[in-house]
Amino acid sequence: MEDQVINKSTLETGEMVLNMGPQHPSTHGVLRLKIHTDGEIVSKIEPVIGYLHRCFEKHCENLSYEQIVPFTDRCDYLASMHMDHAFSISVEKLLDVELPERVEYIRVIIAELQRIASHLVALGTFGLDVGAITPFTWAIRDRERILDLFEALCGARLLYNYIWPGGVSHDLPPKFVERTLDFLDYFDPQIDEFNNLLSTNKIFIERTADVGVLPPEVGINFGVTGPSLRGSGVNFDLRKNEPYSIYDKFDFDVPLGEGTMGSVGDTWDRYYVRVLEMRESAKIIRQACAQLPDGDVHAAIPKKVRPAAGEVYGRYESARGDVGFYIISNGKNIPLRVKMRSPAFCNLSVLSEIAEGWMISDVIAILGSLDIVLGEIDR
């Protein structure tokens, strides 16, 4: 780099270009942020991505639809069930199958459990970025219980390959529903404990309230979705507005940011929306477990997934926002083109807009509140 050596000739008092490099404890993956700073105040941020590009879309052009599902897992590895589910519902629109009720209920239970797990990581690492180390260990401890449930279900802890087009790969093991309800009973007071430690902590509020305010119009214009947009007060949740699967049968609220600790749409709001969403997910899981019907989960899985020719854009609400799969099929069992619209891709692009004028510590806090996963951004 040009100005690596700090000696008298390069010691100007003007702008400094800082590289929050691909390796950094806080960038949630291999992300490079080129930060132009004046002292501590940031004047311009340029995210550079592509360090984790694994040619997901090119691979899809050589794999059959069932073979693509494990690849979608690895895009957003912290919410793999959501990726599987999103891909499956997109393919099912082309396949035009009738799914058994039990499959839909299982998928909803699993998706909401995955949402809780993903939010726990997001909140824990956000606390870590701001300096509080203990909430991270508590969040991970609770997440381990969910991962134990998933391990009993399909054998994997992180990348599941569970939700296939047409059904799911395994039926629920015995006592799964009891264990899930036990977990939820254990989990509800844990959220209160977490809030006591972090959310209502004065220092945390000072670090995050009024920082990085995302105005709703800017958010929509940049394509921000998910908890990041709901933190700005925009009531848009795909599960309510454009319900897919059987989400219209459940009764749950959509938490919005209200500016409780500062302005609407600041970092605290985005963080707290995730905390509230975990409670709502717990509500959904309880309702789904109570209504779970019997059935055969493998009944509708086709021998060969050969969707009709055509295009489809399937939308899904994952933990990070609005996942879209644009699939072009020509009638064969291998897709012609698969494009994945990842929510974190758009969420990250808004960073350059809302982080200007803040200090470096604030950039870290804002980045943490946007909750990005590089695997999904780079695919």
Partner 1 sequence: MTSIIDSLVKSFSSFNLDLVVLLPVITLIGGTVIFLIMAVNALIAVYFERKISAFMQDRLGPMEVGIFGFKGGKKFWGGIGQTLADAIKLLVKEDILPNNADKFLMILAPFIIFTGAFLTFIGLPFAQNVVISDFNIGIFYIVAMSSIGVIGVILAGWSSNNKWSLYGSMRAAAQIISYEIPIGLSLLLVVLVTGSLHLGDIVQWQADHRWFIFHSPFTFLAFFIYYISTIAETNRTPFDIPEAESELVAGWMTEYSGFRWALFFLSEYANMLIVSIVASIVFLGGWLSPMQMFNILPDSWLFLDGPVMGFFWIMFKAVVLIFIMMWFRWTFPRLRVDQLMYLCWKVFIPFALANLFFVSLWELIF
Partner 2 sequence: MSFAEIIQFLETKATGKSSIIEGKEVILVSPANWTEISTLLKNEPELDFDYLMCISSYDKGDNKSYGAAYNFYSINKQHYLEVRVETEDGTAIPSVTSLWQTADWHEREAFDMMGIIFEGHPNLKRILLSEDWEGYPLRKDYKEPDYYHGMPVPKDKSYWD
Binding range to partner 2, per CB under 8 A, among 130-138, 155-163, 220-228, 243-251: 220-228
Backbone angles phi, psi at 213, to 5 degrees: -70, 130
Coil, strand or helix at 150: helix
The answer to whether residue 358 forms part of the interface with partner 2 (CB under 8 A) is no
Cβ of residue 57: shortest distance to partner 2, in angstroms?
A: 6
Backbone angles phi, psi at 86, to 5 degrees: -65, -45
Nearer to partner 2, 70 or 324 (CB): 324
Chain mean position to CA 302? 29
Nearer to partner 1, 196 or 291 (CB): 196
Cβ of residue 127: shortest distance to partner 1, in angstroms?
A: 7
Cβ of residue 264: shortest distance to partner 2, in angstroms?
A: 17
> Residue 50 binds which entry of partner 2, partner 1, none, with Cβ cut-offs from 5 to 8 Å by kind?
partner 2
Cβ of residue 306: shortest distance to partner 2, in angstroms?
A: 19
Cβ of residue 333: shortest distance to partner 2, in angstroms?
A: 18
Residue 38 identity (one-letter amino acid): D
> Residue 18 binds which entry of partner 2, partner 1, none, with Cβ cut-offs from 5 to 8 Å by kind?
partner 1
Residues that bind partner 1 (CB under 8 A): 4-6, 16, 18-19, 24-26, 40, 127-134, 137-138, 141, 197-198, 201, 203-204, 206-207, 359-362, 364
- Is the C-alpha dihedral spanning 155, 135, 127, 214 positive or negative? positive
Nearer to partner 2, 181 or 220 (CB): 220
Count of helix runs (H) and strand runs (E) in the chain: 15, 8
Residue 313, beta-bridge partner list: 326
Question: What track of x and - describes contact with partner 2 for positions 233 through 272 (by CB under 8 A)?
Answer: -x-x----xx------------------------------
Contacts of residue 4, Cβ cutoff 8 Å, sequence gap at least 6:
none
Side-chain half-sphere of 364: how many Cα atoms within 13 Å? 17
Q: Exposure string (b/e) for 267-305, b if CB count within 10 Å is 16 or more?
A: bbbbbbbbbbbbebbbebbbbbbeebeebebeebbbeeb
Q: Exposure string (b/e) for 148-159, b if CB count within 10 Å is 16 or more?
A: ebbeebbeeeeb
Binding range to partner 2, per CB under 8 A, among 1-9, 48-56, 109-117, 125-133: 48-56
Scanning residues 271 to 330, which ones bind partner 2 (CB under 8 A)? 310-311, 313, 315, 322, 324, 326, 328
Nearer to partner 1, 254 or 359 (CB): 359
